[in-house]
Amino acid sequence: MNFGILVNEGPYQHQASDSAYLFCKAAIAKGHTVSRVFFYHDGVNNSTRLTEPPQDDRNIVMRWSKLAQDHSVDLVVCVAAALRRGIKDDVLAPGFRISGLGQLVESGIEADRLLTFGD
């Protein structure tokens, strides 16, 4: 099965990002495909390389980057939501790219299921 994922919450304010990441890992481990993760609303905060959690805490941004690298997952950040929060190409972590809502629509069309994490 091919999954598209929508993440609407930031990395440390809500469990949505952790849940989405863990779902992706589990789905891939079971042989499914996660073609795209679309970050929208405060979810765009998952994409910035400026995030510096304490050493003993999980680094959610780097988890997403590694997932993209290891499994060719397309990590797309909504341009409008990103710009509202001061996120531009020069602060994106590896594996992330900025694009428009058309990528979310395309993901919904091409995926067997589109799952939403966060409000």
Which CATH number, 1.20.140.10, 3.40.50.2300, 3.40.50.300, 3.40.1260.10, labels domain 2-50+57-109?
A: 3.40.1260.10
pLDDT of residue 107: 97
| Tens-place pLDDT, residues 23-81 | 999 999 999 999 999 999 999 999 999 998 998 899 999 999 999 999 999 999 999 99
Q: Which amino acid is at 5?
A: I
Cα separations in angstroms, 99 against 16, 18, 58, 79? 21, 23, 27, 5
pLDDT of residue 68: 98
- State the pTM of this model: 0.96
Q: What mean pLDDT, rounded, does the chain reach?
A: 97
Cα separations in angstroms, 11 against 14, 52, 59, 68, 117? 7, 11, 9, 16, 12
Cα separations in angstroms, 28 against 33, 88, 113? 6, 29, 14
pLDDT of residue 22: 98
DSSP conformational letter for 2: E
Domain ranges of the chain: 2-50+57-109
- Provide the token pair at 4: 């598209």
- Provide the token pair at 34: 């996660």
Q: Is 78 a catalytic residue?
A: yes
Catalytic choice (78, 92, 104, 111)? 78
- Say how far apart CA 17 and CA 37 lie, in whole Å: 11
Q: Which amino acid is at 35?
A: S
